[in-house]
Amino acid sequence: MASKLLRAVVLGPPGSGKGTVCERIARSFGLQHLSSGQFLRETEAGVLAQQYLERGLLVPDHVITRVMLTELEKRREQHWLLDGFPRTLGQAKALDGICQPDLVISLNIPFETLKDRLSARWVHPASGRVYNMDFNPPHTQGVDDLTGEPLVQREDDKPEAVAARLRKYKDAAKPVIELYKGILYSFSGTETNKIWWFFFSINYFLLNVFLSQKATLSPVAIWGATWKMCVPQS
């Protein structure tokens, strides 16, 4: 049977838990977790885009699209899960030009919750590991669990940048959500653990069948049908 690759996208405002959920999905199902923010922070393109990153502004479409399409090109034979890309209609169209996602997961988290989470987010810059002083604190305050290196707060997580980021996200994401509405699965809530368990319990069997290449019918289609019966679509 021809090998099928799973291409998934996670959409959500800054602080909605994309990185946290993607990490768990990637670990549980063996997908590659590709974070646009992390690629920017690690590559030369990100150094040039520093002024955008620090102020929490979206990097121009042509810059991030080039970074992401280059990374996707290197992973043509892998299952992947995109975190943070696409964020605008232009980016979504560029992605569609090379491959169409099988499914899109959208996280809807209340604004107040996002603000609280971002102000308590600390990161280990070298690895991208993320902590939260309430939700998943490091073993020792202020240092990364694995390396012992210091944690930092991102410039764009400081209160002055957060409100503008959240506003801009909404405007840019609307047409993207519209574009993907046929393959979109929305999760609403204030706790990543609940969203995760809901996702995991519905999808464990279907995704594993798909990923092990034993499916004759796309589980994404079966999942879509099950999902529509279980969850009122927003």
Ligand X SMILES: Nc1ncnc2c1ncn2[C@@H]1O[C@H](COP(=O)(O)OP(=O)(O)O)[C@@H](O)[C@H]1O
Ligand Y SMILES: Nc1nc2c(ncn2[C@@H]2O[C@H](COP(=O)(O)OP(=O)(O)O)[C@@H](O)[C@H]2O)c(=O)[nH]1
Question: Can you say which residues are annotated as belonging to the binding site for GTP?
Answer: 15-20, 121, 130-131, 192
Active site residue 154: yes
129 is catalytic: no
Binding site members for AMP: 36, 41, 57-59, 84-87, 91, 154, 165
Only one residue has tokens 């399409």, namely 69
One character per residue 3-42, x = contact with ligand X (rule: CB under 6 A): -----------xx--x-----------------xx--x--
Active site residue 75: no
Residue with tokens 């653990």: 193
Residue 120 is a binding residue for ligand X (CB under 6 A): no
Report the candidate in 136, 151, 21 with the shortest Cα–Cα distance to residue 84. 21
Residue 57 near which of ligand Y, ligand X, none (CB within 5-8 Å, type-dependent): ligand X
Contacted entry of ligand X, ligand Y, none for residue 138, CB cut-off 5 to 8 Å set by kind: none
CA distances from 139 to 22, 117, 136, 148 (A): 22, 19, 9, 10
Q: Which is nearer to ligand X, 14 or 101 (CB)?
A: 14
Q: Are 74 and 121 in contact (CB under 8 A)?
A: no
Rounded to whole angstroms, the Cα distance separating 32 from 138 reads 24
The dihedrals phi and psi of 29, each to the nearest 5 degrees, come to -115, 0
Q: Which does 136 bind (CB under 5 to 8 A by kind): ligand X, ligand Y, none?
A: ligand Y
Q: Which residues are catalytic?
A: 18, 87, 121, 154, 165
